[in-house]
Structure 1
């Protein structure tokens, strides 16, 4: 009875038994099954066996997996064999014993081979023997028997690790599955057995080469084999292709503990990110919330440190994330002395001399969208300076929200550490960067070019989300979104309804008071404040009342000044008093904090980005403009606006005092929202769920924490072991100290509180079940970034942020991947007040399209307002699905869909590269004189012929332009890719046409001739494409230059020539050398309209260069040494661009390799 293929496979139960018991006796598990299992592993590329006797027919039992091993993996198979008949017996039979012993083996092999009827397989064995990939030696030593039985499986013949089978089985049908044998599987003994085998194999006294004789035996048994001159094989073509394109690849050892702890997506992420860093000098890891970016990044660092190519690492992260980074680095086995942790603020405060000594081999930037999406920020320029000083520095950027930003921001993040030399020449974005550097205009044009941008994204960014990852290798818990409506009594419902009109009618006259003089000036800060007030009203009545009282206090102070000073004066006196008021209002050093400070969302102050608008230059410009406006005010205007402002003060106070009075009266007895939240907390606690409550506002957190503590614990302070707390809890407010943080009623650090709340996820199992463990956590969004709190399953949102990504970050604290199937469910509560929602919706509709600018200009960075607006609308239609819908919309928006995903592209390339690199690692015996050079021929039914050529671009004069290797699909006569050509060559492995006897040489040469015609067609299209790019480069070169900037630069040169002493003196007064003038001019030429702040200065220079030199001290920051050096580098880069066209007739190509498919009709 013929055995099916399935017979030779191991079931899951058998695999488990093999790996645990390690016994192979041909009863429960056969040697055939074990060899199939081990030889089927893709990493196995070497098999060494030592047996008493080797039967070629035994290979038929593992034919399929052995063929894959030899053809697809360039496997090497060595056989060291003895003879079943011992030498003593042979001596008794014949005095010429040595010769007879060898002849006996020869005869046995011949007899065995004659019984093999699979002619195709025999032909392949003959080929493998001829190529030296199967080698056979016979033991001829002094020992009476060669009785060894060992099978060694490894990634290469020189590997120190592998798998061994040692026991009693010969390589025969009976030994592999017929007899009851005893063999043992082992990894521990592999190295010792490998050394024993190698020593014996290399011995000149004890072994004799049998391969030539076996070749003769096999050859004589291959019937009707066509004779003729040999062709190059597909295997050799694939080997040559691998030598051209295969690169060393990153591989993680699954046996290492730190690798075992990674999820599958983190393992692939480590490999993908490291490959990008090695190729481009930079990579952007933009996995979604909850996928563990920090652990993936830590894994990259660990992998680098194992190879010692990276030994000095700087991690730039907000100070509040330093503890998490230390924990993650510890988890992968990286010691604290192997890296430096620093915040952005710490970095930019360092003196330039110190920065110039910061030679790090790798810099990791956490939350890269904060401070590095704008190339003009001080943080960005500082890292640019380090990269310029030390070009070998690599940069790993982490951001969960790349598509929360503009394309320009995505480009700036990726460009910071890019090694332009590592970018392939065919990348469109490379041409932009060579032409224009990283100027604002270059980035804008690149962002507008879909093809160039998609290439950039695929090369540098790796983005996976909870949805696109799909739980491969891990499971996410099911999300539930309970929405608990608040049953407010009528008077409170009325307050929420009236809030819209009341707040919409507020003027906030102390905010941006220049708008009373200049009515065209947009009052964005006042509009933002109106939105904030509605949001605080939705959060808690305490937060709302505190805000109103703060504003009331400001207005009472202003009213008093008007009544006791300004309004008592007339004429010029009133004008001067009013001008003094405006001057004090626009003290820009603290204007933002004085006007908005008490509304800043807790924790945001640590993340404020030092964007250019906060620079001295921007402030100076703004102050100059305001000063001019204030000085130009006339007496009549002042008299009019003073009265108008006073009336607005009085009106606002009336509204505010009415609101405060109504709030205090309405909430004197009951807070329905608080009671509803308490009820739901009670329910979740009874389900033995740990609970997190989150609010944007610190005063709301304080209010709820006090109420929750009193509800569950009364006056118990938690200090008496005899009277334990009913519900231990903690509070985290964030900020730079622990003043507001509480562990029950004791002050504690944020870290201590989070460890007490989630000891399992924080690896603090010693806290489990102790009085230090807590069940409830109340905090601001400072706990929403970078924390794993998955001991909890319930999240209660006291309020919702305008930015849905902030909500996603909150959820990400408990929605983490899990390796087991028992993932359970999580609960994400919201507590909507419908009248409050209506007021917010009305306000967003009134502000319309201005709303996004209003909020994104201030501390609500990167806001995604359309989704929040949809949420407000859906709450009136489908409240149960409103939050989930908002999050899904946001996820779809933030996941870039630009052709093939970076992950897909990366993994396909990684797999192809791994196959090629592994294939070439075993070497290959090349054919000395093939019948047709360069090409191999194959007889596959499907697929495409392909070739690799070197194209020599030459101009019309025959002058050299550049050389480029081009991959060509000869079937389609088009250019191709490494991934596609590797696929075609791999499909043809094992299907080589061996000799001219199989395929007439003249027919083969005709096929080559047609292939060359196809190459010419592809080359012509390639040259046309090259010339199109060159023409585009010419257009872009002129387009990238700004006429106003060019004029400004020319004005500076002219003024310097006209008055060199004056210019030199002005520069020296500002700490610059006259030699810096070249850098200033170069920098001026890079400034475009997109660089709003700098372009205003450029226009001034173009209009009046004398004014520029007169106020040069105000602009000195613009021409700081770090900027000038960077711009000089950009200038040098731009000089390297050559825009000459290539001429088809003068250009030429050389064929490096190729494989041609010969159709059946062509071969006959």
Structure 2
């Protein structure tokens, strides 16, 4: 025997999964032997006992044998233990030889068979082995072994070197290399995404690196999850990015956009040479569903935030249309203050209870858990705002980072600075918003206050008659009642908005209300109540408000007898009409217009309004007409008014396409420049039109929802615009002599508008304002005087900061970057940290799921850290000295981090509460389906019901459909009728399974990527 005791040779045919090889060099043998051991180490248990054993094994391989001279003389390496490999031919035999001492009765033992020294070889598999005791058998085996040993190669030194460098036993990795390794493992899939993409740009379009990167990232996300948010802030070119993305998609594309933007999208896709595409208005969703959209593979939804309410008809139709397609959602403001907004948009391409988001198969449970944390908090307290912000951060870290592409101007300027400089591009500087005050004092102030008081008494009975309906016969659903209450709230808001917009618009609006009430009361006195077709206010609130008013007043009608309504209905109708007539009487005495006077004064002095081109936005068509007439008198031929009806310039009316052409000639920097200086527009122009020859945006109406007004400013605050951009807001106030008193008066007026609406203040805009510890007037004023509000971005950090750092390392230090790939898995390093006590930060991966957990020696549970917080703890200078972990504490904390990760990655982590209406409806329907099992049914019916059960369990059916199905089934009197209702309300396309082949779910084994030992001040 070359060594005393038990020994062996590593075979060369299959080394723990290695391929068969018939001739090995020394290098080949060493590599193959090491890879087998490395794989074993990578999957080994994490314990101090195991590491101690491995290091003892290494110690035997490097320590001299007690009989070193004798061992060397025998042709061995003189160490306590030696590893050799036979390189000449496949060696597959498993042979174990044991020799006894000289005084033993037997010479030894030989065990041979199918088992090797591994878990599966010793206990996991069914093996067959024999033990031989005869001395001649043992000697024969010994002789064969000795012959092979002499022809084998010594791998010991190489094996030890590889173990100590290429496995987690490596104690030489510095804290900085650990930091870079963390970034590499986190971002490596994002480093080179655009190699195979098509970037054919039309003439005149700039090739911008940040747009390329966005398209590459979006394509990766789209293929993985079946949907992606393109959510860059306004002015970065989301439409062009969408066109570049479409160019790389093979199949028919459907673009859904606001009706005012269809021509713009058609032109853009035509410029980019995109074929097999169709552009349609979002108003045609119903007809598209009826027509059938099977040929489309991809759906682009512009202004996707319009579909954040799952109970609207628009969402229901869009959800049906998106089924089994890949979805691109385009919006600068997808995540608002309501968690459900972003969740509902996610439902367009993810099943709520069977999602592909790594670590979050149950999105419903995740969002319900976040809402549950908010429910006990008072909205008027800072604690609520803090909890809301923390929840939004959790959504960004655990959900949106997987499915969203979003960058801000600051990020582009900072992390793509070289490309921006090369292209000669800068973002304009946004000045602090300017304020123009107009005064409501004297008699006018008294009229204003009286008007506000009377609007508070207004019941809006004419618009909510279902609220007064007597005993219901079941023909009016709860949903229809809620829709009508929405209309009432909207009409109430219209009056308040028009009062602030212009006295002219307010007088006309009140006059319309009076005539509408007079006609309604006349019919009521004849014994009839005619109700217009329900209008989906939340879906249409993004459109022209005048168009929404028209739809409320017209459309299909239902007739009810006047006797069906309670007596107070007639009283409230008469009271409302009396209040409206009194308001008309009040305003007949008003001939002045301080707001318009303030505009003209600012134009004359040039203090707030410069000499350049400017855009004046208003939500009211009537205010726009009024402004056009008055400005045209001052500056003939320099004013154009644009609305959904078309345009007006001079004495001419223009068709919408002709008006847009005239606007481009004067306001688009690509054109020569036309004669127009003033562009008056309703919000239909605040989307999809480049107007950045202008440098000033005037919000003539108060921007009740600053998020929405971002689109206005975005028309001129974009790449290539003028050096500075100015925003001007008008504020109502009382007479005041000092600035503080003036601001207090403004806030008081804003609060008065808000308090007039009460609970209906939500109809002021799409944003649910929070932070109720601050009065609405104070909060709105603060937002409207802040530059940050109109830039659409804050100083929030993003992952782009670290991705840029890694790219810089790759491009400027390629040799250092190349070393990152070879740093072993489960590696660890340590450094000093300004904290009390030692801590361990561990980076885990499981499939597409990546998480960081931190724990300390105090024994409390490990906690998960968002990437940015974890990155801060990993970050250190390149020369940061290494500190060795204290192994006993290290393994204890690692075990707690692993336990916390396993709990967080569990698919059952979030329990779904059935308390929400959508869940309640799903639960009710699932129970109802069980009752149908005993009813006679065909095989096709049984298949339908089983598929429906599965989809309901996944949360894949829209809330509005489950709500309606439940309501109808409650009145079904037999199983056959129930089945007809289910087939009608839940179409077949909802039953087909959607499979995302590339989805990086959190399947597979948990991997420990690396750990950072943080040694506290008090531990030194």
Query: What's the TM-score once normalised by structure 1's chain length?
Result: 0.54
Q: Could you say which residue in structure 2 is the equivalent of 1:1053?
A: 930
Q: Could you say which residue in structure 2 is the equivalent of 1:408?
A: 340
* Contact in 1 for aligned 2:194/2:213 (Cα 8 Å): no
CA offset at residue 1106 of structure 1? 4.0
* Contact in 1 for aligned 2:304/2:330 (Cα 8 Å): yes
2:297 is the counterpart of 1:359: yes
Cα distance change, pair 947–831 in 1 and its aligned pair in 2 (3 A):
closer
* Contact in 2 for aligned 1:947/1:1154 (Cα 8 Å): yes
Q: Could you say which residue in structure 2 is the equivalent of 1:774?
A: 676
Cα distance change, pair 336–298 in 1 and its aligned pair in 2 (3 A):
closer
2:752 is the counterpart of 1:816: no
CA deviations on 1:132-177 (whole Å, 9 max, x unpaired) are: xxxxxxxxxxxxxxxxxxxxxxxxxxxxxxxxxxxxxxxxxxxxxx
Cα distance change, pair 1138–1047 in 1 and its aligned pair in 2 (3 A):
farther
1:536 aligns to what SS in structure 2?
helix
2:600 is the counterpart of 1:673: no
2:763 is the counterpart of 1:861: no
* Contact in 2 for aligned 1:946/1:981 (Cα 8 Å): no
Q: State how far apart, in whole Å, the 1-side matches of 2:807 and 2:264 are.
A: 31
Q: Could you say which residue in structure 2 is the equivalent of 1:830?
A: 730
Match for residue 1122 of structure 1 among 956, 966, 989: 989
* Contact in 1 for aligned 2:691/2:715 (Cα 8 Å): yes
* Contact in 2 for aligned 1:496/1:839 (Cα 8 Å): no
Q: Could you say which residue in structure 1 is the equivalent of 2:84?
A: none
Q: Could you say which residue in structure 2 is the equivalent of 1:546?
A: 508
Q: Could you say which residue in structure 1 is the equivalent of 2:272?
A: 334
Match for residue 397 of structure 2 among 427, 431, 454: 454
2:723 aligns to what SS in structure 1?
coil
Q: State how far apart, in whole Å, the 1-side matches of 2:690 and 2:438 are.
A: 30
Q: Could you say which residue in structure 2 is the equivalent of 1:695?
A: 618
Q: Could you say which residue in structure 2 is the equivalent of 1:732?
A: 642
Q: State how far apart, in whole Å, the 2-side matches of 1:991 and 1:404 are.
A: 44
Q: Could you say which residue in structure 2 is the equivalent of 1:884?
A: 785
CA offset at residue 515 of structure 1? 2.9
2:262 is the counterpart of 1:322: yes
Q: State how far apart, in whole Å, the 2-side matches of 1:840 and 1:240 are.
A: 53
Q: Could you say which residue in structure 1 is the equivalent of 2:742?
A: none
Cα distance change, pair 1082–270 in 1 and its aligned pair in 2 (3 A):
closer
CA offset at residue 358 of structure 1? 1.6
2:697 is the counterpart of 1:788: no
CA offset at residue 536 of structure 1? 0.6
Q: State how far apart, in whole Å, the 1-side matches of 2:881 and 2:359 are.
A: 42
Match for residue 632 of structure 2 among 689, 704, 709: 709
Q: State how far apart, in whole Å, the 2-side matches of 1:286 and 1:261 are.
A: 20
Q: State how far apart, in whole Å, the 1-side matches of 2:1013 and 2:457 are.
A: 79
CA deviations on 1:852-875 (whole Å, 9 max, x unpaired) are: 44x17xxx4335487999574489
Q: Could you say which residue in structure 2 is the equivalent of 1:1079?
A: 947
* Contact in 2 for aligned 1:280/1:419 (Cα 8 Å): no
Match for residue 465 of structure 2 among 513, 521, 540: 513
Q: State how far apart, in whole Å, the 1-side matches of 2:1012 and 2:458 are.
A: 78
CA offset at residue 404 of structure 1? 2.5
2:583 is the counterpart of 1:659: yes
Q: Give the structure with the larger helix fraction.
A: 1
1:828 aligns to what SS in structure 2?
strand
Cα distance change, pair 783–914 in 1 and its aligned pair in 2 (3 A):
same
Q: Could you say which residue in structure 1 is the equivalent of 2:523?
A: 561
Q: State how far apart, in whole Å, the 2-side matches of 1:757 and 1:693 are.
A: 13
2:437 aligns to what SS in structure 1?
coil
Cα distance change, pair 381–454 in 1 and its aligned pair in 2 (3 A):
farther
Gaps of 5+ in 1: 1-226, 567-579, 614-618, 714-724, 927-931, 954-961, 993-1006, 1065-1071, 1158-1164
Q: State how far apart, in whole Å, the 2-side matches of 1:420 and 1:462 are.
A: 21
CA offset at residue 499 of structure 1? 0.6
Cα distance change, pair 499–343 in 1 and its aligned pair in 2 (3 A):
same
2:288 is the counterpart of 1:350: yes
Cα distance change, pair 939–1122 in 1 and its aligned pair in 2 (3 A):
closer
CA offset at residue 1050 of structure 1? 4.2
Q: State how far apart, in whole Å, the 1-side matches of 2:1013 and 2:366 are.
A: 43
Q: State how far apart, in whole Å, the 2-side matches of 1:817 and 1:701 are.
A: 29
1:1036 aligns to what SS in structure 2?
coil
2:307 is the counterpart of 1:371: yes
Q: State how far apart, in whole Å, the 1-side matches of 2:457 and 2:333 are.
A: 36
Q: State how far apart, in whole Å, the 2-side matches of 1:336 and 1:456 are.
A: 31
Cα distance change, pair 904–984 in 1 and its aligned pair in 2 (3 A):
closer
Matches within 5 A, 1:242-261: 246-247=188-189, 249-250=192-193, 261=206
Matches within 5 A, 1:704-1103: 704-713=627-636, 725=637, 728-735=638-645, 738=646, 741-750=647-656, 752-754=658-660, 756-757=662-663, 759=665, 762-766=668-672, 768=673, 772-818=674-720, 823-830=723-730, 832=732, 834=734, 841-845=751-755, 847-848=757-758, 850-853=759-762, 855=763, 860-862=765-767, 864=769, 872-873=777-778, 883-885=784-786, 888=788, 901-904=798-801, 906-907=803-804, 1020-1021=895-896, 1023-1025=898-900, 1027-1029=902-904, 1033=908, 1036=911, 1045=922, 1048-1060=925-937, 1073=941, 1075-1085=943-953, 1091=959, 1094-1095=962-963, 1097-1098=965-966
Matches within 5 A, 1:598-609: 603=544
Moved more, 1038-1047 or 1107-1116: 1038-1047
2:452 is the counterpart of 1:500: yes
1:1033 aligns to what SS in structure 2?
coil
CA offset at residue 464 of structure 1? 4.0
Q: Could you say which residue in structure 2 is the equivalent of 1:718?
A: none
Q: State how far apart, in whole Å, the 1-side matches of 2:844 and 2:350 are.
A: 27
* Contact in 2 for aligned 1:969/1:981 (Cα 8 Å): no
Q: Could you say which residue in structure 2 is the equivalent of 1:444?
A: 368
* Contact in 2 for aligned 1:730/1:774 (Cα 8 Å): yes
Q: State how far apart, in whole Å, the 1-side matches of 2:850 and 2:680 are.
A: 61
Q: State how far apart, in whole Å, the 1-side matches of 2:750 and 2:306 are.
A: 28
Q: Could you say which residue in structure 2 is the equivalent of 1:289?
A: 234
Q: State how far apart, in whole Å, the 2-side matches of 1:328 and 1:922 are.
A: 44
Matches within 5 A, 1:267-286: 269-270=214-215, 272-274=217-219, 276-277=221-222, 280-286=225-231
Cα distance change, pair 733–907 in 1 and its aligned pair in 2 (3 A):
same
CA offset at residue 693 of structure 1? 1.6
2:492 aligns to what SS in structure 1?
helix
Cα distance change, pair 1077–527 in 1 and its aligned pair in 2 (3 A):
closer
CA offset at residue 557 of structure 1? 1.7
1:703 aligns to what SS in structure 2?
helix
1:1125 aligns to what SS in structure 2?
coil
* Contact in 2 for aligned 1:373/1:410 (Cα 8 Å): no
Matches within 5 A, 1:84-103: none
CA deviations on 1:412-455 (whole Å, 9 max, x unpaired) are: 4345446999999xxxx63442xx4x6x5564347668556632
Q: State how far apart, in whole Å, the 1-side matches of 2:397 and 2:856 are.
A: 27
1:782 aligns to what SS in structure 2?
helix
Query: What's the TM-score once normalised by structure 2's chain length?
Result: 0.61
Q: State how far apart, in whole Å, the 1-side matches of 2:466 and 2:302 are.
A: 39
Q: State how far apart, in whole Å, the 1-side matches of 2:602 and 2:848 are.
A: 70
Q: State how far apart, in whole Å, the 2-side matches of 1:652 and 1:352 are.
A: 42
